[in-house]
Amino acid sequence: MPKFEYAPAPESRSVVDLKSSYGLFINGEFVDGSGTSFKSISPATEEVLAEVSAASEADVDAAVKAARTAYTRVWSKMSGADRGKYLYRIARILQERAREFAVLETLDNGKPIKESRDVDIPLAAAHFFYNAGWADKLGYAALPGGANPQPHGVVGQIIPWNFPMLMLAWKIAPALATGNTVVLKPAETTPLTALLFAEVCQQADLPPGVVNIVTGAGPTGQAIVDHPGIDKLAFTGSTGVGKMIARAISGTRKKATLELGGKAANIVFDDAAIDQAVEGIVTGIFFNQGHVCCAGSRLLVQETIADEVESRLKRRLETLRVGDPLDKNTDVGAINSKAQLDRIIALTDAGEGEGAVRWDNGCELPSKGFWFRPTVFTGVTQTHRIAQEEIFGPVLSVLTFRTPQEAVAKANNTPYGLSAGIWTEKGSRILWMADQLKAGVVWANTFNQFDPTSPFGGYKESGYGREGGRHGLEAYVKGTQS
Ligand code: NAP
Ligand code: MG
């Protein structure tokens, strides 16, 4: 199919005021920290964007102490209505500075500007608005603690690189609304929007120490997990690190919620509207380069329509524009890091080695940076690694089924259980399937829809606890297991 050539339509970088180096945000101020430093790069060009401090154990200790003092002296004494005012203020500033955040997110992460501009940043602001609304109504939210739910105190929060600002909002907004103070660590490859958010906290006059941002890699995260002054941990990331955290805090009084990996089935029945389903398959796995925990990475398609879906899907994938993430026409951006690209290459090589049939859209890739072509594997069986392990890249594994029972059995046959999609015109089948699927979120005739009012979280090795909605507040008040 001919692809129209579009003139480049780059978003301007000039809205972002990048500093050459950034410190840690502790007690309302940027400080140098006592550790080393690291560089954050643009994965699309390998250009160094900034030098960032790596928080040492002593820096994490200072951040936890600042959070404790702010909790005891200020935040736990403030009324919910007043906490809500700060959260509304932060939400409004995020909207006012949305373009700056979107461009910085795209530079640091590699995701297309149309996604950071239309999804990540608006949703991050929406989470602050939503939780601001709860801050003075917690007594009516049917939370543990009834009319007077109590915060945990100081919360340690560790987030991944795939949705840096959105994951920050999922963590900080409900924690602050319920009266906790936080120490948050962004991922090593994407620290810059969290540091811009620290500026927003200053701009909103948030009392010092309520939000502390400590940048760094795994050891900084470990220092948060191990710190005795942390009352609750909220982690989003890989199942491997999640398990280490669960082990590290067992036998302590620390509470935890874990949002981990996924290997979602996107299930297409023969009565589905096929063109809509193809769009949903594309959104499901190629949105954000497939760096999505709830990505529809396994397509389960009913055998009678498998050939037709496959050919329409491939035709559609040939129109995807892969390249400069700052270009408004770009559909698929850069892979977030060299390490992640290597993981994708290793797993896709294993898929070929195990006998699955590999296809990619053959697009040209930029010469610098980290890139991977939208890829589809057909002839995949249940035992293949690409059907079991999370690839976390723009790679779809296609399997077939004959009956709804077989679709359910195959969909549930993974260690994960985060999300699933169902495409059919029959409402009764949607309800029956949703009931059988072991997945925290089930989308029907759509995929990757997010809303701050809707809880999100996993079954099995996808973790425990829920984020978003009223359920998301529960993890931040006393009296629950999580
Ligand atoms: P990761 O390696 O587990 O990293 C997540 C965070 O944990 C990062 O900030 C990381 O720091 C930090 N970390 C690494 N080692 C640590 C340790 N020993 N102690 C404490 N913290 C530590 O995961 P990732 O590769 O960045 O992210 C991809 C994974 O996240 C995928 O499996 C994906 O499915 C999952 N994810 C889940 C959700 C969800 O809501 N369920 C959402 C998004 C992503 P550095 O990055 O600085 O090393
Ligand atoms: Mg980066």
Arithmetic mean of pLDDT, 73-101: 98
CA of residue 165 to ligand 2 center, whole Å = 13
Predicted confidence at residue 169, as pLDDT, reads 98
Edge-to-edge, what's the strand order for the sheet holding 265-268? 357-360, 375-378, 395-401, 298-302, 265-268, 419-423, 441-444
pLDDT band for 3, please (50, 70, 90 cuts): low
Note the pLDDT tens digit of each residue in 166-212. 999 999 999 999 999 999 999 999 999 999 999 999 999 999 999 99
Q: Which atom of ligand 1 is nearest to the CA of 244?
A: 18
Ligand nearest to the CA of 42: 2
Predicted confidence at residue 2, as pLDDT, reads 53
Note the pLDDT tens digit of each residue in 423-442. 999 999 999 999 999 999 99
CA of residue 65 to ligand 2 center, whole Å = 29
> Residue whose CA is closest, atom 39 of ligand 1?
259
Note the pLDDT tens digit of each residue in 115-156. 999 999 999 999 999 999 999 999 999 999 999 999 999 999
Q: What is the value of pTM for the model shown?
A: 0.97
| Distance in angstroms (rounded) separating the CA atoms of residues 43 and 334 | 6
The dihedral region occupied by 59, where left means phi > 0, alpha psi between -120 and 50, and beta the remainder, is alpha
pLDDT exceeds cutoff 70 at 1 = no
CA of residue 161 to ligand 1 center, whole Å = 7
Active site residues: 259, 293
User: In 3D, which of 186, 169, 170, 150 has the Cα closest to residue 75?
Assistant: 150
Edge-to-edge, what's the strand order for the sheet holding 24-26? 29-31, 24-26, 211-213, 181-185, 154-158, 232-236, 255-259, 463-464
The best mutation among 165, 238, 336 to test binding of ligand 1, ranked by most ligand atoms within 8 Å of the C-beta, falls on 238
**Structural contact between residues 431 and 447, judged by C-beta atoms closer than 8 angstroms:** no
Question: Could you tell me the sign of the dihedral formed by the alpha carbons of 353, 314, 380, 337, in that order?
Answer: positive
Ligand nearest to the CA of 189: 2
Q: Which atom of ligand 1 is nearest to the CA of 248?
A: 19
Note the pLDDT tens digit of each residue in 324-383. 999 999 999 999 999 999 999 999 999 999 999 999 999 999 999 999 999 999 999 999
Note the pLDDT tens digit of each residue in 321-333. 999 999 999 999 9
Predicted confidence at residue 480, as pLDDT, reads 53
| Distance in angstroms (rounded) separating the CA atoms of residues 231 and 478 | 10
> Residue whose CA is closest, atom 25 of ligand 1?
238
CA of residue 236 to ligand 1 center, whole Å = 6
pLDDT band for 482, please (50, 70, 90 cuts): very low
Q: Output phi, psi for 480, to 5 deg.
A: -115, 170
Q: Which two tokens stand for residue 111?
A: 């995701």
User: In 3D, which of 299, 312, 224, 216 has the Cα closest to residue 265?
Assistant: 299
**Of all residues in the chain, what percent carry a pLDDT higher than 70?**
99
Note the pLDDT tens digit of each residue in 295-328. 999 999 999 999 999 999 999 999 999 999 999 9
Taking the mean position of all CA atoms in its chain, how far away is CA 383? 27
* DSSP, residue by residue, 292-349: -TT---EEEEEGGGHHHHHHHHHHHHTT--BS-TTBTT-SB---S-HHHHHHHHHHHH
The best mutation among 158, 244, 340, 342 to test binding of ligand 1, ranked by most ligand atoms within 8 Å of the C-beta, falls on 158
CA of residue 63 to ligand 1 center, whole Å = 21
Q: Is 161 in the pocket of ligand 1 (CB under 6 A)?
A: yes
Q: What is the DSSP letter of 256?
A: E
User: In 3D, which of 188, 187, 189 has the Cα closest to residue 168?
Assistant: 187
Q: Is 336 in the pocket of ligand 1 (CB under 6 A)?
A: no
**Structural contact between residues 386 and 351, judged by C-beta atoms closer than 8 angstroms:** yes
CA of residue 431 to ligand 1 center, whole Å = 33
User: What domains are defined for the chain?
Assistant: 21-260+462-478 (3.40.605.10), 265-452 (3.40.309.10)
Arithmetic mean of pLDDT, 466-470: 96
Q: Output phi, psi for 438, to 5 deg.
A: -90, 80
- Give me the chain's average pLDDT, please: 97
Q: Is 158 in the pocket of ligand 1 (CB under 6 A)?
A: yes
Predicted confidence at residue 45, as pLDDT, reads 98
Predicted confidence at residue 6, as pLDDT, reads 85
Q: Is 446 in the pocket of ligand 1 (CB under 6 A)?
A: no
Q: Is 44 in the pocket of ligand 1 (CB under 6 A)?
A: no
pLDDT exceeds cutoff 90 at 106 = yes
Secondary structure (3-state) at 399: strand
Q: Is 389 in the pocket of ligand 1 (CB under 6 A)?
A: no
Residues whose CB falls within 8 Å of the CB of residue 280, separated by 6 or more in sequence, listed in order: 266, 296, 421, 423, 445, 446, 447
Q: Is 218 in the pocket of ligand 1 (CB under 6 A)?
A: yes
